[in-house]
Homo-oligomer: A and B are copies of this chain.
Amino acid sequence: MQEADMASYCRDWHGDVEASAIAVLRPANTEEVAHCVKTCSQLGLSIVPQGGNTGLVLGGIPDAPASQVVLSLERMSRIRHIDAEDFSAVVDAGCILEVLKDAVAEQGLFFPLSLGAQGSCHIGGNVSTNAGGINVLRYGMTRDLVLGLEVVLPDGSVLNLLRTLRKDNRGIDLKQLFIGAEGTLGIVTAVAIKLFPQPLQVETALLGLHSLDDAIALYRRARYECCDLLSAFEFMPPLAFDLAIEAMPELVMPLEAGAPAYVLMEVSGSGRVDVRALLEGFLEAVMEEGLVIDGTMASTKAQSAQLWSFREGMNEGQAKRGLHLRTDVSVPLSKLAAFVHDTSAALTLALPECESLAYGHVGDGNVHLNVLPPASYGLQERQRVIATGKKIINEWIDRYDGSISAEHGIGRLKLADFEARLPAAQRRVLEGLRQVINPAGLMNPRCILSDASSPESAV
């Protein structure tokens, strides 16, 4: 592969980092992956496993050009088997999430993992980062959707845990080690997943509320009254709609503007429940009580897609504002409103010239708290804003016993912040795992954990 062809494998999703590597390996099957791993091991080369390269924490791109290869799973994209009677499928790690979702949908089945990058990300990358997304509150994280794995270990042996059993209590569940390990303990080459009945009724509503506190109260009400059929519950501040319209000027605000807080909620189901009547009844009650002040329910698929396009447009709008601080944090749901209030106030005080916004998967206690510098700021000023904002957010996360990475992982981007908060006992176990499974440290070095004894140095 020419250097120019390699560039896209060495550049991160946001385009913030351009790295390089000795080579990009593109094995076509599990045996070839094992062969690549053995050969690299003999040559003392370290491997950065890569899926769709849509990760947000620099876990899938190299950091040491002289000694690293990228191993892309993109040629391993086969759906090995869909078993409709077992509600399961087995797929190669390099299968694109959307391809997989479409293939099972053709058989009336549903794979619930849903995220912005689904047209590019790979199921193997989803497993390695334990991807979340918008349906977590109903169906769980990727971990909850995995029945089995096939993994090539750093010594080149193949760990075959590729089962579709729902219940299998044969001692320690080794596959759990590799879910969310970001390729540091081995390379996921195939995945067995759980499938669900395709929800044929999907009802979406955009609601205006008085505050984030009210949004959380609404979420709790919805959990009780919508009978476990709530499938998404996204919080958005008014600024989110401005950003979406900046990116997609054709969007038309579907509600009267002016509510201080918005919620995009989805209730879904197959079968004999009238999901539309359920949501209508619920919304009628909460509007009568004044908890929801304004609202619209999509009456067609196109209208529903339009409501969701605000959620996606908001991300594009932020990107158009130039380099800014993006975070991905979580706290217990009962503390979420207080955390957002306190942290936003501290950000306004320290960075009065910037706009901050908090949005996200409120039902999971997960918010993206971002800070946008004014348009006039240059690179250096933006970097200062990012450093100051991150320090403030992390301090408040620590006070609220939260996580500095709710969905995105640690990778190389959050390594220092992670290690600074890592208790000694936990560090010893993590280092012990690496010592046992990845003793030469050649599998995705300096991702999640730094390695003082590594002969390489980061770029």
A residues apposed to B, CB below 8 Å: 83, 85-88, 108, 129-130, 132, 136-137, 140-141, 143-144, 153, 157-161, 163-174, 176-177, 179-182, 184-185, 196-197, 216, 220, 223-229, 269-273, 278, 281-282, 330-335, 361, 363-366, 401-410, 418, 423-426, 428-430, 432-433, 435-437, 448-449
The answer to whether B173 and A180 touch across the interface, beta carbons within 8 angstroms, is: yes
Given A281-B272, A425-B153, A141:B170 Cβ within 8 A: no
Set B87, B333, B436, B449: member contacting A87, Cβ < 8 A: B333
**Cβ contacts under 8 Å, A163 to chain B:** 401, 403
**Cβ contacts under 8 Å, A181 to chain B:** 171-172
In the complex, how many angstroms separate the beta carbon of A107 from the nearest chain B beta carbon? Answer: 12
In the complex, how many angstroms separate the beta carbon of A278 from the nearest chain B beta carbon? Answer: 5
The answer to whether A433 and B436 touch across the interface, beta carbons within 8 angstroms, is: yes
Q: A165-B332, A170-B418, A227-B229 are in contact. List 20 more A-B contacts (CB 8 A).
A: A83-B332, A85-B333, A86-B365, A141-B167, A153-B429, A157-B425, A160-B423, A161-B426, A165-B331, A167-B406, A168-B403, A170-B405, A171-B181, A172-B181, A226-B272, A228-B228, A228-B269, A273-B273, A273-B278, A429-B436
Nearest-neighbor residue (CB-CB) of A130 within chain B: B169
The answer to whether B172 and A180 touch across the interface, beta carbons within 8 angstroms, is: yes
How far is A229 from B158 in the complex, measured between Cα atoms in Å?
39
How far is A181 from B433 in the complex, measured between Cα atoms in Å?
16
Given A172-B181, A229-B227, A166:B429 Cβ within 8 A: no
How far is A399 from B278 in the complex, measured between Cα atoms in Å?
46
Number of copies: 2
The answer to whether A169 and B273 touch across the interface, beta carbons within 8 angstroms, is: no
**Cβ contacts under 8 Å, A437 to chain B:** 429, 432
The answer to whether A171 and B410 touch across the interface, beta carbons within 8 angstroms, is: yes
Task: Report, nearest first, the 7 A-B pairs whose CB atoms are least far apart.
Answer: A432-B436, A176-B176, A85-B334, A225-B271, A86-B334, A227-B269, A171-B448
Q: In this complex, which of A170, A335, A366, A425 has the most chain B Cβ atoms within 10 angstroms of its Cβ?
A: A170
Given A272-B225, A272-B278, A333-B87, A180:B174 Cβ within 8 A: no
Given A176-B177, A227-B273, A170:B330 Cβ within 8 A: no
**Cβ contacts under 8 Å, A273 to chain B:** 227, 229, 273, 278
How far is A335 from B83 in the complex, measured between Cα atoms in Å?
11
The answer to whether A136 and B403 touch across the interface, beta carbons within 8 angstroms, is: no
Set B197, B272, B410, B425: member contacting A159, Cβ < 8 A: B425
Q: What are 22 A-B pairs at a CB distance below 8 A?
A: A86-B335, A86-B365, A158-B425, A159-B426, A160-B425, A165-B406, A166-B330, A168-B403, A169-B406, A170-B403, A170-B405, A171-B182, A172-B181, A172-B184, A172-B185, A173-B179, A176-B176, A176-B177, A176-B179, A226-B272, A228-B270, A435-B436
In the complex, how many angstroms separate the beta carbon of A456 from the nearest chain B beta carbon? Answer: 20
How far is A428 from B74 in the complex, measured between Cα atoms in Å?
29
Given A161-B426, A229-B227, A330:B168 Cβ within 8 A: yes
How far is A430 from B429 in the complex, measured between Cα atoms in Å?
14
Given A171-B181, A177-B172, A196-B228, A164:B332 Cβ within 8 A: yes
